Amino acid sequence: MQSGKLSIDPAFVVAPVNRRVFGSFVEHMGRCVYGGIFEPGHATSDDDGLRGDVLELVRELGVTAVRYPGGNFVSGYRWEDGVGPVADRPTRLDPAWRTIETNAFGLNEFMAWARKAEVEPIMATNLGTRGLPEAMELLEYANHPQGTALSDLRIEHGAKEPHGIRLWCLGNEMDGPWQLGHMTAAEYGRVAAETARGMRQLDPDLELVACGSSGRAMATFGEWEATVLEHTYELVDYISAHAYYELEGDDVAGFLASSVDMDRFIRDVVATADHVGAKLASTKKIDISFDEWNVWYQRDLAGAVGQQDWTVAPRLSEDAYTVLDAVVVGSLLITLLQHSDRVTIACQAQLVNTIAPIRSEPDGPAWRQSIFHPFALMARHARGQVLDLRVDAPTLTTAKHGEVAVLDAVATHDAETGQLAVFVVNRNPTEAVSFATDLRGFGAASLTEAVVLADDDLFAANTMQEPDRVVPRPHTSAAVDGTTLRAELPPASWSMFRLQLS
């Protein structure tokens, strides 16, 4: 059996765990909103039409922040359509997903949901077909207390208190030719800077996210970030990054190593941002908002949308996630935490039904997909400081990423509670790995919980009929021997070990 070990010490840290890294994304795409978080008449829905069973699962998932309303959707969206009496709201065509948008759910409904879900809102503005005036009007409507036309209109619409939204995205994927209002980097940089200045004149304490590349494979990657930040560096706080992964053919090993690509993506964006900062002689550091990431298979939406052309909330990208997908999601979360010094926001896309950890059926149940579990456990137990660990493990060769270590890991240490959490992925698709971690730097330690997500059938998935087919199981091989944590990691597995330190 192959063997690997981690070297960790409480004195060596990366950064505090930022709770915003456990964010998610709600877009008016498919059934994420309609039939997902919002279904008036459902047996569990409240007076606002919000599904109680979905809300319960969102809280269990541990989501901390949610980006809204898009996504591609936002680049053709008129926010005014989604406020005021529902009977008076216009029905529109949504060109992003070629669907009908009823506007029965809008800003105020989302904010009511966010309060009940106990999440921080992240609001995206439309810089595709609109721009500075609309962004400033939306900000005034949402956040100004009272006494102006737009703030008083919000109060008239039933939202007496200002929403107090602090975090705003300046458009979405404006580097993508598929995006309404697609711009060059210089064009977008100018518009983003202009919008940021205007919004900061209303509220200088906002946090603003500029659009980075919508994928590391984009032909403009790197050049896009550099040009955009040359325009916006002193006006924004974050640059966004988006990445989706999938199993390609039978390359299971390459898929399990997807986080290698995410790691390179983050390092490249950080290097580019710091280069621009150096050119501008700025002491400021730009952080990354990795505000779209996940495993996503059903990306060829033209055919799927064409089959249900101009309908309300069709079933789009409702991927059924497997054991293999869950292990990859766990590995991607490990990478995000490893970069906690610069990745301070992340949003798994999306939350319900559409490429989501939660599924629901109309007038039916809601259930956890396989990818729900690593997210929920890491959101719950990754606390305190992210440790700067070292992995000593064999490598395997992948067609897509070359030589990669078979182990991917991160550890967090909460000195106040004495909790140490270690998260490990075995990327080897066919062989178990003997795993050890020396704990002598922490003093005496006892193992309080050890779970593993693995299965002989890597393609097993949860369904409405069998919602608990894929769940974490007790890690029966895990034990603390003196000052060493040991376990046998099954092939293609994600594991969590929680320890109490004396």
Does residue 14 surpass a pLDDT of 80? yes
For residue 300, what pLDDT is reported?
61
Whether 248 sits among the annotated catalytic residues: the reply is no
For residue 133, what pLDDT is reported?
97
Residues 371 and 403 in one domain: no
| Cβ–Cβ < 8 Å for 408, 428 | no
Of 354, 381, 408, which residue sits at a domain end? 381
pLDDT band at 502 (very low <50, low <70, confident <90, very high): confident
Residues 167 and 262 in one domain: yes
Residues 418 and 320 in one domain: no
For residue 301, what pLDDT is reported?
58
* Cα separation, 265 vs 346, whole angstroms: 14
What three-state secondary structure class fits 381? helix
For residue 304, what pLDDT is reported?
47
Among 166-180, 200-214, 224-238, 289-303, the least confident range:
289-303
For residue 1, what pLDDT is reported?
87
Q: Got the DSSP string for 243-275? A: EEE---TT-HHHHHTHHHHHHHHHHHHHHHHHH
Per residue in 154-212, pLDDT tens? Answer: 999 999 999 999 999 999 999 999 999 999 999 999 999 999 999 999 999 999 999 99
Does residue 369 surpass a pLDDT of 90? yes
For residue 264, what pLDDT is reported?
97
Residues 274 and 252 in one domain: yes
Residues 180 and 198 in one domain: yes
Does residue 285 surpass a pLDDT of 70? yes
Does residue 307 surpass a pLDDT of 80? no
Residues 324 and 389 in one domain: no
Per residue in 120-156, pLDDT tens? Answer: 999 999 999 999 999 999 999 999 999 999 999 999 9
Of 381, 396, 412, which residue sits at a domain end? 381
Q: Is the peptide bond before 500 cis (omega within 30 degrees of 0)?
A: no
Residues 269 and 330 in one domain: yes
What's the CATH number where 174 sits? 3.20.20.80
Query: In sequence order, which residues have a C-beta less than 8 Å from that of residue 50 and are 6 or more positions away?
Result: 37, 38, 112, 113, 116
Does residue 303 surpass a pLDDT of 70? no
| Cβ–Cβ < 8 Å for 386, 15 | yes
Q: In a 10 Å sphere around its CB, with 0-12 CB exposed, 13-18 middle and 19+ buried, how is residue 363 labelled?
A: exposed
For residue 482, what pLDDT is reported?
87
pLDDT, average across residues 90-106 = 96
| Cβ–Cβ < 8 Å for 432, 489 | yes
Per residue in 437-446, pLDDT tens? Answer: 999 999 899 9
Per residue in 384-441, pLDDT tens? Answer: 999 999 999 999 999 999 999 999 999 999 999 999 999 999 999 999 999 999 999 9
* Cα separation, 173 vs 179, whole angstroms: 7
Does residue 116 surpass a pLDDT of 50? yes
For residue 308, what pLDDT is reported?
58
* Cα separation, 330 vs 262, whole angstroms: 13
Residues 61 and 177 in one domain: yes
The CA–CA distances, whole Å, from 343 to 227, 230, 238, 403 equal 20, 20, 9, 25
Domain that holds residue 191: 18-381
> Given CA atoms 207, 211, 215, 216 in this order, what sign does their dihedral have?
negative
Across all residues in the chain, what is the average pLDDT? 96
What's the CATH number where 392 sits? 2.60.40.1180
Residues 196 and 219 in one domain: yes
> Given CA atoms 265, 271, 276, 281 in this order, what sign does their dihedral have?
positive
Count of domains observed in the chain: 2
Residues 424 and 357 in one domain: no
Does residue 87 surpass a pLDDT of 90? yes
Q: Where are the beta strands (DSSP E) in 431-501?
A: 433-438, 445-453, 473-474, 479-481, 484-489, 493-501
| Single-letter amino acid code for the residue at 427 | R
Whether 137 sits among the annotated catalytic residues: the reply is no
Residues 347 and 418 in one domain: no
Residues 149 and 258 in one domain: yes
Of 357, 381, 405, which residue sits at a domain end? 381
Choosing from 101, 173, 225, 488, which is the catalytic residue? 173
* Cα separation, 257 vs 260, whole angstroms: 6
For residue 305, what pLDDT is reported?
47
* Cα separation, 421 vs 497, whole angstroms: 6
